[in-house]
Amino acid sequence: MDDYRKMYEKSVNPETAEAFWGEQATRFIDWIRPFDTVRMGGFEVGDHAWFVGGQMNVSSSCLDKHLPKLASKPAIVWEADEPGTCETLTYLDVLHGTCRIANALKVTGAAKGDFVTIYMPMMPDTAMAMLACTRIGAPHTVVFAGFTASSLRDRILDSQSKWVLTSDVGKRGSKTIKLKEITDAAVSQCPKVQKIFVFKRTGEEVPTNRDVDVHMDELLPKMRPYCPPTPVAAEDTLFTLYTSGSTGKPKGVAHAAAGYLLQAAMTCLYSFDLRETDVFACVADVGWITGHSYIVYGPLCNGATTVMFESVPTYPDPGRYWDLVDRHGVTVFYTAPTAIRALMAHGEAPVKKYSRASLRILGTVGEPINPEAWRWYYEVVGDKRCSIVDTYWQTETGGHVMTPLPGVTPMKPGSCCLPFFGVVPKVLDSQTGAELRETAVDGVLAFGQSWPGACRTVWGDHERYMNTYLLPYPPNYFTGDGCRRDEDGYFWIMGRIDDVLNTSGHRIGTAEVESALVAHQAVAQAATVGYPHDIKGQGICCYLELTKGYEESPELIKELKGAVRSAIGPFATPDLIIAVPLPKTRSGKIMRRILRKVAAGEESQLGDVTTLADPTVVDALITKVKKVQ
Ligand code: ATP
Ligand code: MG
């Protein structure tokens, strides 16, 4: 802890920060031309910039840099959807694959600065496609391959991509997703797209349009497996990525090449205590920032072995993750609370069936993790031997901004603990914006100064960037999340600020109520929202999904109300408890915005629901709530 505190101090103190960050940038990144200025600008107008004057190439810092020593080390271990099907690619294999794709893009006409949309399943070609874009200095926009044609179209149009990479189909939990067909439908409304590059996943027949389609299985063997890296400026846009859309229309978050890579690589090293022999499995999808930073860029920049998992945690059965861990000797495993809770509902047997002896560190990200799920992860999955790292961050932050360091930071279940290097968290009064300086306080979470991985703009709309992040509480970056800092200075994320309830004058974090509910055996998932209430100001409405084998009944509802009352206090007693399938985004987050609107009887103003995994749950929800109210 002493070392952490010293290093942290160096990283944020104005007198030492530049030396600190200059050193880190040299350690992780291969510079083609060294930078002149470590950092400039700030949050006042959003011109913060890092390593200015420097030129580099992200793919060469992830691949070429390692070749002298690690050419034959496994870089990517692919676990396909079909159980038992896997493939290992060495660093040299990945460099060759990346270069062939880069050359294919070039011969077709793609050039530095052109946007490329990637709509592909979780297979090694996808990681190599991302790296190939960085090789030629073309920013990529990866779109999660579960999105519909209209969502894909919107992202292609917004990023003005001329090139789209896809595959014949995708596979997930034995289901086939017709990616090429969906891409065709999307591209038919995108006049600027010049070519669709089609990779083979299963090789099945798909519709072809010879004018537009480039078949990669025919073109790639003709390409040279070396392509010189195109130098890009440190501040050139590496990629844009759309947020998950929990709170409204997704934002096209833009990241800068060098600062982002440094954030991804450095957090990957420290938050997971990465070692040379580690097999690192982040089971997210590359369509999300978690996949960008901790499947592709972070592990590869560190020369680690990264696992790409194509399937879902319950296929063919709920032991899939632990089977994966045993077969590949996974040492670091990283997933989301939603997956942990879903697996908890199946009990311990599918976990205990496997040894999991290789596991060292378990990570979580995406939502506040309720202490109940935290303990299950720690005790059942990790056999109380593994550190849990609860990493708090956002698409916009590029990499972790608050996290314990495994083996270093004393853990507290449900807390993301302390800031990462360079990050200055502030707890602000939501009304006045004044900084609350006492140790134990709650308020909104903001960051006081730029860190290398902070996003630089919303693509094509810097005004929206300013309005969303930098202008609400100037001169700070506003996270949109509420938090509590405890007497030890540990941070607890309470969820999004509009998720904090005010009932009869009490401020209640929705995460607290949900924790109390999911601690009951009958509850698998819970989401709490406020709704207008004549007397209390806001009433507390809890939606839940029940564990298999439980039925909704007046007795159960009464018991659950009692559980919340005894966990938090009588003022937090739910007014309504409704069992119903929850609306979730495609990244598995509960869309509370919809639940809020429905509880308030404003179902005509639901807004954008295209990022929902299953839009049909909305009608079922409305019907059920009407009945209960
Ligand atoms: P949108 O910004 O479009 O509404 P989103 O915020 O869900 O979507 P992401 O960038 O994927 O998009 O998610 C970041 C958010 O996830 C954080 O702001 C926070 O609310 C939540 N989050 C992530 N990790 C944690 C964590 N470890 N603990 C608590 N909350 C977390
Ligand atoms: Mg967000």
CA distance 626 to 619: 11
Residue of the nearest CA to atom 11 in ligand 1? Answer: 244
User: In angstroms, what CA-CA distances link 73 with 272, 277, 278, 306?
Assistant: 20, 10, 12, 11
CA of 497 to the centre of ligand 1 (A): 11
CA of 610 to the centre of ligand 2 (A): 16
Contact 145, 182 (CB under 8 A): no
* Continuous segment of H or E residues that includes residue 340: helix 337-344
What was the pLDDT predicted at 456? 98
pLDDT tens, 219-276?
999 999 999 999 999 999 999 999 877 777 788 999 999 999 999 999 999 999 999 9
What was the pLDDT predicted at 175? 94
Is the CB of 121 within 6 Å of ligand 1?
Answer: no
pLDDT tens, 113-127?
999 999 999 999 999
What was the pLDDT predicted at 587? 80
Is the CB of 363 within 6 Å of ligand 1?
Answer: no
What was the pLDDT predicted at 210? 84
Is the CB of 403 within 6 Å of ligand 1?
Answer: no
Is the CB of 479 within 6 Å of ligand 1?
Answer: yes
Least confident of 8-12, 248-252, 459-463: 248-252
Q: Which ligand is nearest to the CA of 245?
A: 1
Q: From the alpha carbon of 288, which atom of ligand 1 is closest?
A: 11
pLDDT tens, 564-595?
988 888 888 999 999 999 999 888 888 888 99
Residue of the nearest CA to atom 2 in ligand 1? Answer: 243
Q: From the alpha carbon of 245, which atom of ligand 1 is closest?
A: 3
Q: Which is nearest to 106 in space by CA: 224, 231, 237?
A: 224
Pairing verdict, β 537-546 and 576-579: parallel
What was the pLDDT predicted at 18? 98
Dihedral angle of Cα 273, 276, 279, 282, to the nearest 10 degrees:
40
CA of 68 to the centre of ligand 1 (A): 39
Is the CB of 250 within 6 Å of ligand 1?
Answer: yes
The single-letter DSSP state of residue 603 is: G
Q: What is the pTM of this model?
A: 0.91
Is the CB of 493 within 6 Å of ligand 1?
Answer: yes
Is the CB of 621 within 6 Å of ligand 1?
Answer: no
Residue of the nearest CA to atom 16 in ligand 1? Answer: 366
Q: Which ligand is nearest to the CA of 499?
A: 1
Residue in 390, 416, 493 to alter for ligand 1 test, most ligand atoms within 8 A of Cβ: 493
| Long-range contacts of the stretch 524-529 (C-beta < 8 A, 24+) | 524/341, 524/342, 524/344, 524/345, 524/548, 525/338, 525/341, 525/342, 525/582, 525/590, 527/582, 527/590, 527/592, 527/595, 528/499, 528/501, 528/574, 529/499, 529/501, 529/592, 529/595, 529/596, 529/599
pLDDT tens, 396-416?
999 999 999 999 999 999 999
Is the CB of 499 within 6 Å of ligand 1?
Answer: no
CA of 496 to the centre of ligand 2 (A): 8
180 pLDDT band, cuts 50/70/90, is very high
Q: Which ligand is nearest to the CA of 493?
A: 1
Q: Which amino acid is at 242?
A: Y
Residue of the nearest CA to atom 6 in ligand 1? Answer: 246
